[in-house]
Structure 1
């Protein structure tokens, strides 16, 4: 990319940059909340799923982790309908408020020793509501940001996903501070609650900021000519199913890679390879801070290069590196800093590169619904089940490379759509104009 092209790609009004960074605060909570849950998994297992077998207890915790993902598609359909019918701004302001409240409440739950079976039941319910709100949060932010800066959607969504990587870093940083200053018994008693309270406060701040935004210009124009769909989901299924399938397969590899390499990795390293949890937390925090700018570069690439070529590059990279990478983790003398840096780089690569592709698969009248449905279903099936699937593969085959096996299988699945034509709805053209990619 020449210097002139780079300047062209980054030529965005200053107010759009400020808007992107403000919205990204809520996006940061997307992975912060889920990373915090994974980082606190051992404490949550002891408090809510007590068992004589640590692996069984951990499986119960990660099953509850998956529950949070399972409600996301329903949230995507519900909030996608609201967003396409009543506006992007109002809808994704509502999602961040629900997300902030449920995250804070998880930190206030009584444990199994206090109220028995009701403790894990309440945890599951809050995870369901948290996942439900997340179903509309990030897709709403992606839709709103792409429609307020149509010609540079890759760049501004890259800013959003940079904040997600910083959310991973923030979660590991908070965990590192807590384990540094609090002994294990205090962490089990109440220390694990602190990160959830912090997440609730950040969500409340994001809610306050979002209330001051104006509505998306493209949605306002759509509303003025009365082209909103009565039931956007039905319109999506009837006339834009190909876009949905393409989006679903794109997010499959993204969700699997980010969850396995980011959310699942700390517990994997501590439980199966004996790394100290505080060292993992610090190294992860540093790695994700250093790799976050990669999301911006990948966002720029979205605005310049073929999306199919970029997806193929992602698939080859993840499938080719996974097995030797996990073999290195299991080898003697494996360095934690290198392990975390590779995981962070790969996570940032697919996070910044793949989700921005979704916004051009759907026209304005069903964009929120299309992005939310394909994104959440892909994340749910291939991200939400990744920790459980990886753990089961390790247990069934008695190998530590279970996560690599999972990533290779998902990569092969995502490869299918490289060979079909993609719809391409440029947000700078009139409604209904589409070109195959």
Structure 2
């Protein structure tokens, strides 16, 4: 990977410490963010978007879920600019604090029956703020991890923040699985709030770890030599838009496909197939455990074969497995349901595992935070509407899983195509660096 200033020497010990700090903060961010997706399927549609039509209520809950994704580019612009101007570490402390506080406050919100229309409005506002924080989190975390890593081992360290996603899923699904055992009246009145309130103590742990992480040595060098871009977001949009588009496409499956096979699948399994919510939550737990191994392996494969090749392979494999995965869900057999969710999640996690390595390779160092954040969050904007689109397609298809499965095929092929285009843009990145010099 070519960086604008000379890359400072770093050690594996430093890289591991920074990558772990990035992982912990990212795990908390995704725990908080994923909680909303699970709650949208099980709680918010009933308690905050009250209506006599359960489909309309679910659509409204998923629409508020999508708002968080729509807000993510705002966070990418704000924190991308600041991260490339004042430092990666400072921005990451702000983002983790912001999402931890907002998520805890969701657990304190009164429901529609208590305060009427103000309940869904406040919930949507908090989701908006969640989106802004997450929009600046992942791009900074992966940039910090990569810039602390030895060049030949960037694949594995870029994958560390990615491990935060399945761990966040594991924690959020596990938290909801625990409270789902409560009697229905207890679950609706206070049980669902406990996973959100847990964000407060988890924030304290994340802040303690993240404050111990040092600034990127590469950024420190850029700061000393004044190699920073004056307007990094503008430069990315105007001069690196092909990389931006390819980066967003390569990240699409890891985000949009994930929410299709988890958030939408939970709703589909419980509301359409009549499966127990404990089974669907349990399936996401098993899938999250498997995903951790896939992400770790993917980082190593990126070092050996190149992140773009791994992205193409994962996209094609996910497209092939899309219909079989939904057929397994439709069987209503607990074992097959878990298998379907797990296999689909594992395959779409292959390109997700190398997303950090691929995106950081697309952009030069002085535009990296902005470029990575904008790319991933452009994919996130569209991804936030995937459960909503899948629910609408399900209704249009008379309850058949064929249309949601076809949607997963389309998302998978977009990512495979973007991965195939990525190598052509690495030379363009180098030309941007040369022109700036």
TM-score scaled by length of structure 2: 0.91
Alignment coverage as a number of residue pairs: 421
Return closer, same or farther for 1:69/1:420 CA change in 2, 3 Å cut-off: closer
Matching of residues 355-366 of structure 1 within 5 Å: 355-366=356-367
Aligned to 2:35: 36
Q: CA deviation at 1:430?
A: 12
Note if contact 1:75-1:131 (Cα within 8 Å) is conserved in structure 2.
Answer: yes
- Take 1:278 and 1:237, find their aligned partners in 2: how far apart are those partners? 44
**Contact 1:43–1:187 (CA<8 Å) still a contact in 2?**
no
Matches within 5 A, 1:155-174: 155-174=156-175
Partner of 2:353: 352
TM-superposition CA deviations, 1:161-194 (whole Å, max 9, x none): 12211111111111111112x1111111111111
1:57-68 alignment to 2 at 5 Å?
57-68=57-68
Q: Is the 8 A contact 2:84 2:368 kept in 1?
A: yes
- TM-score by length of structure 1 reads 0.91
Structure 1 pair 262–157 and aligned structure 2 pair: CA distance change class (3 A):
farther
- Write the mapping of 1:22-421 to structure 2, written as runs, cut at 5 A: 22-41=21-40, 42-151=42-151, 152-180=153-181, 182-331=182-331, 333=333, 335-381=336-382, 383-398=383-398, 399-417=400-418, 418-419=420-421, 421=423
For 1:351 and 1:414, locate their aligned partners in 2 and report how far apart those are by CA, in whole Å.
Answer: 10
- DSSP-derived class of the 1:269 partner: helix
Q: Is the 8 A contact 2:264 2:391 kept in 1?
A: no
The CA distance in 2 between the partners of 1:420 and 1:174, in whole Å, is 38
**CA distance 1:213–1:430, change in 2 (3 Å):** farther
| Between 387-396 and 408-417, the greater mean CA deviation after superposition | 408-417
Q: Greater shift after overlay, 344-353 or 161-170?
A: 344-353
SS in 2 for 1:149: coil
1:215 aligns to what SS in structure 2?
coil
Superimposed CA distance per residue, residues 374-410 of structure 1 (whole angstroms, 9 cap, x where no aligned partner): 11011111x1011001001101122223321111222
Q: 2:55 & 2:432 partners in 1: Cα distance?
A: 53
Which range moves more in the overlay, 159-168 or 369-378?
A: 159-168
In structure 2, what is the Cα distance between the partners aligned to 1:30 and 1:355?
A: 16
Q: What whole-Å deviation, never above 9, does each CA across 1:66-121 have from its counterpart, x for those lacking one?
A: 00110001110110000000000001111111111111111111111111111111
* C-alpha displacement of 1:340: 3.1
Does structure 1 retain, via aligned residues, the 8 Å contact 2:328–2:337?
A: no
Q: Kindly tell me: are residues 299 and 12 of structure 1, through their superposed partners in 2, closer, same or farther at Cα, counting changes over 3 Å?
A: farther
8 Å CA contact 1:158, 1:299 repeated in 2: yes
Measure, in 2, the Cα distance between the counterparts of 1:237 and 1:87: 20
Distance 1:308 1:158 in 2: 14
- Point out where structure 2 has 5 or more consecutive residues left out of the alignment: 1-9
Partners of 2:91 and 2:140 within 8 A in 1:
yes
Corresponding position of 1:424? 426
Residue 361 of structure 1 contacts residue 425 of structure 1 at CA under 8 Å; is this kept in 2? no
Superposition RMSD in Å: 2.3
CA contact 1:148–1:217 (8 Å) conserved in 2 = yes
- In the aligned structure 2, how far is the partner of 1:426 from the partner of 1:242? 9
Per the TM alignment, residue 12 of structure 1 is displaced from its structure 2 partner at its CA by 6.2
Give the match's secondary structure for 1:264.
helix
Structure 1 residue 264: Cα displacement: 2.7
Question: Does the residue aligned with 2:108 lie in a helix, a strand or coil?
Answer: coil
Does the 8 A contact of 1:362 with 1:423 survive in 2? no
Aligned equivalents of 2:234, 2:432: Cα separation in 1: 18
Residue by residue over 1:268-290, the C-alpha shift from the partner in whole angstroms, topping out at 9 and shown as x without a partner, is 21122111112222332233223
Runs of 4+ in 1 over 6 A off after TM superposition: none
Cα offset, 1:348, TM superposition: 3.1
Aligned equivalents of 1:430, 1:242: Cα separation in 2: 13
8 Å CA contact 1:299, 1:352 repeated in 2: yes
Query: What is the CA-CA distance between 1:333 and the residue it aligns to?
Result: 4.0
